[in-house]
Structure 1
Amino acid sequence: MKIGILQTGHAPDVLLEQTGDYDVMFAQLLGGHGFEFETYNVVDMEFPANAETCDGWIVTGSKHGAYEDLAFIPPLEDLIRNVADTKRPMVGICFGHQIIAQAMGGKVVKFDGGWIVGRQTYDFGNETRVINAWHQDQVVELPPGARVVGSNDACENAALLYGNHIWTIQPHPEFNATVVDALATHRGPGVVPDAVLDAARADLSKPVHQSAVAADMAAFLKQES
């Protein structure tokens, strides 16, 4: 099964050396599940020919805001809607979660509750998932047809399901402790409050549910529409 990774931003240079770019993180997260991956750097205006190019899609995180006036955002929204029309499975992470919601008619804002960084616990109904996060923006108005399937006190709309073919989450299952530490050191200072960064660093040694969320994601991508 061929999964197209729509890369909407790039990791800091220090992470490119340590872990690779965001597409590499997803390929590693989903390793062993039988996927073939192809990356499209949509942030650099590199788009697939159409929504049928791949069997399923992942929309990555980004330092950008879904509401920003950036050249890649309108064609990405068009592609998201086209993928939705084909009923091919699509997963969105952080910015991907937000841009899919916006493309489908929801609203994304710079949340007045501030930054959410590091290890967070989310309620997924019958189970909880502990996942690393890195965001200030949030989906505050749901698109038509979307329903909430994961949340916590700091992020009400943390995971959304659209029918049975689009699943999106606000946190970052692809981020391990190395990634969070590098972001806290190289991208956070002067942007994220020091107390929030310190709290994230204090939790770096604690476990997160990377493998469990990867299994959930893989099962979702493999399901028949």
Structure 2
Amino acid sequence: MHIGILVTGHVPDDLADEHGDYGAMFRRLMAEEGFSFTTWKVVDGEFPDSPEDADGWLITGSRHGAYEDHPWIPPLEQFIRDAFEADRPIVGVCFGHQIIAQAMGGRVEKFGGGWSVGPQVYHFPDGPRIVQAWHQDQVTQAPEGAETVASNDFCAHAALLYPRKAYSVQPHPEFDDRFVSGLIETRGPGVVPDTQLAQARNTLGKPLDSKALAHQFATFFRERRIA
């Protein structure tokens, strides 16, 4: 099965040599699932010709807000709607989670409660999972027809299931401790409160459930279900 990765942001320059771009991170995350991949950097205006160019689509995270005025966001929203119509499964992570919701009629906002950074516990139907977070924006109103399948006290719509069409999550299973540590040092200061950065740094090292989410993504691509 061939998956198209739609890259919606750039890794900070200080981290790119060690970690690669977001497409590379998802290739590593999904390496055991047996897929092939092609990457399109939609953040730079590079789009597939149509949803039929891959068997399924994965939309990455980004430093940008889904509600911001960038020339590549409206065509990405249209591509998502076209993929729904073409019956190509979509998985979204962080910004990908948000842009799918926005494209389908939900609401995305800069959350008044601040940031979520570092390993966080999310409550899924089959139990709690610990996954890395790095966001202030979040889905505050789910689209009609989408089912909220994970949440915590900070993020009410941490995962959304659009039956047989899309599955998206707010946290970052593709992020490991080293990458989050790098974000704390390069992107955090002056943006995320210092006390929160220190707390996140102290919680790194917890066992993560990233592979469980990777398997969920693979199950959705292949079977249009998450369990």
TM-score (normalizing by structure 2): 0.97
| TM-aligned CA deviation for residue 152 of structure 1 | 0.4
CA distance in 2, matches of 1:219, 1:30: 11
1:159 paired residue number: 159
Contact 1:15 1:21 in 2 (8 A): no
1:221 paired residue number: 221
SS of structure 2 residue aligned to 1:138: strand
For residues 69-112 of structure 1, give each alpha carbon's deviation from its aligned partner in whole angstroms, at most 9, with x where no partner exists.
Answer: 00000000000000111221110000000000000000000000
2:120 paired residue number: 120
Do structure 1's residue 72 and structure 2's residue 72 form an aligned pair? yes
* Between 79-88 and 100-109, the greater mean CA deviation after superposition: 79-88
SS of structure 1 residue aligned to 2:158: strand
Do structure 1's residue 184 and structure 2's residue 179 form an aligned pair? no
CA distance in 1, matches of 2:224, 2:162: 15
| TM-aligned CA deviation for residue 4 of structure 1 | 0.3
Contact 2:163 2:224 in 1 (8 A): no
Do structure 1's residue 102 and structure 2's residue 102 form an aligned pair? yes
CA distance in 1, matches of 2:202, 2:111: 24
Contact 2:164 2:224 in 1 (8 A): no
Q: CA, structure 1 residues 125+65, in 2 after alignment: closer, same or farther (shift >3 Å)?
A: same
Letter in 1 for 2:42: V
* Between 111-120 and 201-210, the greater mean CA deviation after superposition: 201-210
Contact 1:3 1:37 in 2 (8 A): yes
Contact 2:131 2:173 in 1 (8 A): yes
CA distance in 2, matches of 1:207, 1:20: 23
* Between 210-219 and 27-36, the greater mean CA deviation after superposition: 210-219
| TM-aligned CA deviation for residue 224 of structure 1 | 5.6
SS of structure 1 residue aligned to 2:216: helix
CA distance in 2, matches of 1:96, 1:224: 18
CA distance in 2, matches of 1:219, 1:135: 26
Contact 2:92 2:100 in 1 (8 A): yes
Instruction: Compute the RMSD of aligned alpha carbons.
Output: 1.0
CA distance in 1, matches of 2:210, 2:161: 20
Q: How many residues align?
A: 225
Letter in 2 for 1:65: G
